[in-house]
Structure 1
Amino acid sequence: MATIKDIAREAEVSVSTASRALNDNPRISQATRRKVKRVAAKLGYQPNYNAQNLTRGESNMVGLVFPVTGDTAPANPFHIDLMRGISSALKPLHYEMVVTIAPNTTELLESVKSMVTQSKVHNFLVFYTMINDPVTAYLRDHNLNFVVIGRPTDSHPDRYVDNDNVAAGIAATAHLIDHYGVKQPLFLDSGTDWPYEVDRRAGYRQCMQARHLPAITWSENQQIGIDTFLENHPAVDGIVCYDDLLFGRLNRQLQAFDLPVACFNNSRLMGMLLKRSERIDLQPRQLGKAAVELLFNSRKHHQLVDFKIYD
């Protein structure tokens, strides 16, 4: 593999001049820069971007911070597709991903601190938003570059990418009513009140109110199971489910009712489980790409990514 010394020797310049030319230092003439770059291309030179960044006190890594996740929790298809989008956007920038997942907030914060102090990671994408989150508070306090994925939840003006989840909730409910003839859809939520869950539920309620229909919600943290709830509410003839993982957990009980379903994320898992359904594709790969673009564009505060409906 060619080195900077090989390039300098071939181009008949000093090593320092070759290095500056490859980095487009304005002190080096255009002619010399072009000559050195031609030699570098000829020799197949691959710059060590990690070493270059370390000289500036940071690594060429972007930290991906997952929400608190139990050791036995299944992988979230939405997060996997986010990572695919992020990876494709980082590749031409010569950055790599490093991931932190922890079962509690304390361990998650310690892991992020270690990434900063030991691995010199200064750029982060946070896969969640949460009120009084100690991780984003740490990133703010240390003036680190980060973007959150989701609507910020408190007074801090964090930079973010997101879908318009209220609009998605409205569209999902309206589509279920208009295309399936549903008269009384039920909204299923987890009871954890993640911001995107709150927004999708708000969209459902807005749509129901606009059509003068009663909004009915079942939450996973209720004492009554979904099958018993549906038996007690025979007027329910359709379901809006806030998340594909929740629907996956309830699928066995719901199959007996054979109701049309609107479910968010459009993962491959949902494609196998849902028959009479509409899938709201939140385009996580595009969200991931948008997050990377925003991370390295300090002039922009936020970006919204559109959603699509498939039935």
Structure 2
Amino acid sequence: MRATIKDIANLAGVSGSTVSRALSDDSRISKKTKEKIQKIAKELNYKPNIMARGLVSKRKGILGVVLPKATMELFTSQFFIEIMQGISKRAKENNYYIMFDFCKSDREEFMSTKKFVESGLVDGICLLSSRDKDESLEFLKDKNFPFVVIGEPLEKTNTLWVDNNNLEATYNLVKEYKKEKNLIFIGGNKHLTVTKNRVDGFKKACLEFEIDGKILLGRKFSMDEGYRLAGDIEMNEKLEKIIISDDQLLMGVLDYFEENKIFNVEIVSFNRCNVKELWKNKVRTIDIQPSKLGSEAINLLLYGINNNINEKNKMINIEF
């Protein structure tokens, strides 16, 4: 038979309300009592009744995650796979379920966000991208609904967000090549904050170290765009140094180079991914810790849901 709060209360010699508060990590319950109750709950293999808990606390125990159109290529993107693992793991640790919604356009992302809020199905929402004039973000602010953004927003007022320090990371990468005369940066959608920040870091370093930097931006982060942008590079006999903003772009660039027998390159790319043996000594990938981005986003979202906001954002540094 399934263990209940009453069973735990009887064994612990406390009231049912004390058990509920202890299992919810309520600050009104002492550490000693919490540990005692949690130990008994574990011994009884107690599983909380999410629906019943929701009726009492008015919480649904579900978080909504709006997946942007870039995730339509989810299963070829190590970044999105790992970010979703981080989200799911941290939510599960806090007894929350995740409801994902895959979207094909910016407008569909907004409609998904709106439906999540108006349906009353979720306690909070996680957005996986940040862009100019973001309808979803403004809607959530207007409704005063708990949300977090993975990606530094341009307008940060009343917004919880988590991101890498993309400007600093790109600046530091260019700094490694400060003795070079030429450097190429390949990035994705110019309207996304991640692209803006990495381009700004690239420009800042090129100006400081007097490097002739060339910037090539695509319409999206995809292999097709990487392949197309690679064709715009004016190759010469000298070794080309290239910084690429995303693993999907990288794979497209490498396909183009291999197809056209271009191997006089040295590439650094954000996001880890597996490359062919042919490229192992020419390509360096940088771990931007997507799983940590996902878990930290859920931490912030739960702070927001509980009206316990100690910090407005979390910046995760990229280590080389």
Q: What's the TM-score bracket when you normalise by the shorter of the two chains?
A: 0.7 to 0.9
The separation in 2 between residues aligned to 1:307 and 1:250, in whole angstroms, is 23
More deviation in 194-203 or 1-10? Answer: 1-10
Deviation at 1:268, TM superposition (A): 3.8
The separation in 1 between residues aligned to 2:36 and 2:247, in whole angstroms, is 55
Deviation at 1:245, TM superposition (A): 1.0
Deviation at 1:32, TM superposition (A): 9.3
SS at match of 1:154: coil
Identical residues among aligned pairs (%): 24
The separation in 2 between residues aligned to 1:284 and 1:28, in whole angstroms, is 35
Give 2:243's aligned residue.
240
Give 1:151's aligned residue.
152
1:280 maps onto 2:286 in alignment: yes
Contact 1:62 1:125 in 2 (8 A): yes
When residues 26 and 283 of structure 1 are mapped into structure 2, their CA distance, relative to the original with a 3 A threshold, is closer
The separation in 1 between residues aligned to 2:285 and 2:165, in whole angstroms, is 16
Contact 1:173 1:207 in 2 (8 A): yes
1:289 maps onto 2:295 in alignment: yes
SS at match of 2:98: strand
Paired AA for residue 79 in structure 2: F
Give 2:83's aligned residue.
82
Deviation at 1:100, TM superposition (A): 1.3
Of 298, 309, 318, the match for 1:307? 318
Contact 1:226 1:253 in 2 (8 A): no
More deviation in 140-149 or 48-57? Answer: 48-57
The separation in 1 between residues aligned to 2:273 and 2:153, in whole angstroms, is 25
Q: Which runs of 5+ in 1 are unaligned?
A: none
1:213 maps onto 2:207 in alignment: no
Paired residues for 1:26-45 under 5 Å: 40-45=41-46
When residues 18 and 248 of structure 1 are mapped into structure 2, their CA distance, relative to the original with a 3 A threshold, is same
The separation in 1 between residues aligned to 2:96 and 2:319, in whole angstroms, is 30
Contact 2:54 2:60 in 1 (8 A): yes
Paired AA for residue 245 in structure 1: Q
Contact 1:161 1:304 in 2 (8 A): yes
Aligned residues: 302
Paired AA for residue 208 in structure 1: C
Paired AA for residue 97 in structure 2: E
Contact 1:186 1:236 in 2 (8 A): no
Deviation at 1:7, TM superposition (A): 4.8
1:197-217 CA distances to partner (integer Å, 9 max, x unpaired)? Answer: 111112112221122121212
SS at match of 1:153: coil
Deviation at 1:301, TM superposition (A): 0.6
Paired AA for residue 248 in structure 1: M
Paired AA for residue 251 in structure 1: L
When residues 269 and 283 of structure 1 are mapped into structure 2, their CA distance, relative to the original with a 3 A threshold, is farther
Give 2:197's aligned residue.
199
- TM-score, structure 2 as length reference: 0.79
The separation in 2 between residues aligned to 1:167 and 1:27, in whole angstroms, is 42
1:267 maps onto 2:265 in alignment: no
SS at match of 1:308: coil
Deviation at 1:116, TM superposition (A): 2.9
Give 1:141's aligned residue.
142
When residues 42 and 249 of structure 1 are mapped into structure 2, their CA distance, relative to the original with a 3 A threshold, is closer
Contact 1:129 1:151 in 2 (8 A): yes
Deviation at 1:44, TM superposition (A): 2.9
The separation in 1 between residues aligned to 2:47 and 2:165, in whole angstroms, is 41
Deviation at 1:121, TM superposition (A): 0.5
Give 2:53's aligned residue.
52
Give 1:121's aligned residue.
122
Give 1:64's aligned residue.
65
Larger radius of gyration: 1
Contact 1:132 1:154 in 2 (8 A): no
The separation in 2 between residues aligned to 1:28 and 1:230, in whole angstroms, is 63
Deviation at 1:160, TM superposition (A): 1.0
Deviation at 1:232, TM superposition (A): 6.1
SS at match of 1:240: strand
Contact 1:8 1:18 in 2 (8 A): yes
The separation in 2 between residues aligned to 1:207 and 1:52, in whole angstroms, is 53
* Aligned alpha-carbon RMSD (Å): 3.5
- TM-score, structure 1 as length reference: 0.81
Deviation at 1:51, TM superposition (A): 2.8
The separation in 2 between residues aligned to 1:111 and 1:301, in whole angstroms, is 24
Paired AA for residue 276 in structure 1: K
